[in-house]
Amino acid sequence: MLARDPLPPAVFEVNRLTLEYPTAAGTVRAVDDVSFRAGEGERLALLGPSGCGKSSILKAVAGFLKPASGAIKVRGRDVKGPGPDRIVVFQEFDQLLPWKTVRQNVEFPLRMAAKLSKAEIRERTETTLKKVGLERVIDSYPHTLSGGMKQRAAIARALVTDADVLLMDEPFAALDALTRSQLQRELLELAEELGFTLLFVTHSIEEAILIGTKLHLLSPHPGRTITSLDSHEFGREDIGTARLENLTREVHDLLFSPKIRKGAPENV
Ligand SMILES: Nc1ncnc2c1ncn2[C@@H]1O[C@H](COP(=O)(O)OP(=O)(O)OP(=O)(O)O)[C@@H](O)[C@H]1O
Ligand SMILES: [Mg+2]
């Protein structure tokens, strides 16, 4: 047998995951036997049609939904519930409390954890806000910030607690194209600078390619793995190029090939 390079240690690892919901009409299988992993600093984009189980997978990795079978590990440890190592950054960053300043929002999870002194909380908050370039608006309220600043504040709030796995579920879906593009750029810059590991859910093939270093493609309901692709060589500088267009087409064909459709007649 040929010796294989060992895989780098996974930051998060989903192994043969099946997710089900009990309903009045019986059990609904949302996700069927899905596996993927991401190493340090990787950005895994989960891509698939509406209803294929992307949000369910994200909730399971966050620890809010228990697997029917299979396992989820973060840094080698089984996920048994929500934990400080992972944090969900919600759509439109609406986890920022509007009646609190940026500083108070970012301090909030540290105060809740009640492990640090007031001075330590202050210092840690200021360091984190500097890291994401928000020192100028530290005492401003969220409604006075631009979309990009809100995103940075939401990410600062996640990172201040030492979480280094960020989970994002279509954070840009409701935004206009220009804002979306600007926030994608800011997210990538922050990810490169701070090195967090990202699980990112999107409907958009191009967004998945631009944000993700890896793509994981899911079939229509119930979500099954179609394939995984490496997209780390693609970035925003490829927008409008033939190579990005080719990969987009290739991913589109993989997602919508007749072979996959056959398994899910409701999507034909
Ligand atoms: N609480 C629930 N109870 C019952 N069924 C559910 C529940 N939540 C989700 N489902 C079902 O599980 C499947 C996957 O839903 P999920 O929200 O994970 O899909 P999705 O890929 O995130 O879709 P979208 O792209 O539209 O956000 C769907 O068929 C949905 O109807
Ligand atoms: Mg969803």
Residue nearest to atom 17 of ligand 1 (CA): 55
**Type of residue at 1:** M
Decide if pLDDT at 89 tops 70. yes
pLDDT in tens, 55-65: 999 999 999 99
Average of pLDDT values for 70-83? 93
Helices and strands, counts by H and E, the chain: 8, 10
pLDDT in tens, 156-203: 888 888 788 999 988 888 778 888 888 888 889 888 888 889 999 998
Average of pLDDT values for 133-149? 90
Average of pLDDT values for 228-252? 94
Residue nearest to atom 16 of ligand 1 (CA): 53
Distances in Å between the alpha carbon of 159 and those of 82, 107, 185?
15, 11, 19
Show me where the domains of the chain are located.
Answer: 1-85+166-178+197-262, 91-163
Is the distance from CB of 214 to CB of 228 less than 8 angstroms? yes
User: Which one, of 41, 81, 18, lies nearest residue 225 by Cα?
Assistant: 18
Gap from CA of 207 to ligand 1 centroid (Å): 21
What percent of the chain shows pLDDT beyond 90? 60
- Range with lowest mean pLDDT among 27-31, 80-84, 257-261: 257-261
pTM of the model: 0.86
Q: Give the model's pLDDT for residue 262.
A: 45
- Average pLDDT along the chain: 88
Q: Give the model's pLDDT for residue 156.
A: 86
Is the distance from CB of 30 to CB of 19 less than 8 angstroms? yes
Cβ partners under 8 Å of residue 212, min gap 6? 43, 44, 45, 200, 231
Q: Give the model's pLDDT for residue 16.
A: 98
User: Which one, of 199, 165, 200, lies nearest residue 86 by Cα?
Assistant: 165
> The sheet that has 214-218: what strands, in order across it?
86-89, 165-169, 197-202, 43-47, 214-218, 225-230
Average of pLDDT values for 132-138? 91
Probe residue for ligand 1, chosen from 52, 168, 207, 267 as the CB with the greatest number of ligand atoms within 8 Å: 52
Q: In CATH, which of 3.30.70.2970, 3.20.20.220, 3.40.50.300, 3.40.1620.10 is domain 1-85+166-178+197-262?
A: 3.40.50.300
